[in-house]
Amino acid sequence: MGCVFCEGAGGEILWEDDYCRAVWAYEADYPGLCRVIWDRHVTEMTELDAAGRNQMMRVVFAMERALIQVLQPDKVNLASLGNQVPHLHWHVVPRFKDDPHWPFAIWGRQVREGGHPLPSNFAMDMRHTLDQLLSVKRGLI
C-alpha cells in the first residue's frame, strides 16, 4: 500500500516550496483544518537535518499566524501525530468555541453539532497571507 501524502497533495495546496507544502484539508466539522506536509517520505522530525526542521516549523508557524489573521479563531491547535499516515505532517487546526468538540480535542468527545463557517474567500486569503509571511527569508513569523 502506498502513502497518501507521497501519492497526492493531501488537500488543496495553499503554499509550497522545494521542501514542504501547506494545504487546506477541508473537514466538514473543521473546515479550516490545514496541514503542513514534508515533501519527502520521512516519518519523524528527527529524520530531518536542522535546516529541514527549521523550515518545517517556519511553515507550521506561518500557517498558524495566517489562520489567526484570516479567521480570528479562539485557539489554534498544532499536532504532529502520523499514526494513521506515517508521513511527516503537522495539523494546524483553528478552534472556535462553537465547534463540535470545544473545549476537547477534535478527536475527543463531541458536545454539539456543526462546524464554524469559513469566509467564501478563505483559500485566496490564506494563499495571500502565507505568501506574505513566508516571503521573508529570516525573522520571526
Domain coordinates of the chain in residue numbers? Answer: 4-134
Q: CA 58, CA 55: separation in Å to the nearest integer?
A: 5
CA atoms within 13 A on the CB side of 100: 14
Beta bridge partners, 76, equal: 94
* pLDDT tens digits, 16-56: 999 999 999 988 888 899 999 999 999 999 999 999 999 99
* pLDDT tens digits, 55-80: 999 999 999 999 999 999 999 999 99
Q: What is 4-134's CATH superfamily?
A: HIT-like (3.30.428.10)
Whether the CB-CB separation of 20 and 59 falls below 8 Å is answered with yes
Q: CA 85, CA 103: separation in Å to the nearest integer?
A: 25
The reported pLDDT for the residue numbered 107 is 86
**Model's pTM, two decimal places?**
0.91
Whether the CB-CB separation of 116 and 96 falls below 8 Å is answered with yes
* pLDDT tens digits, 97-126: 999 999 999 888 899 987 788 999 999 999
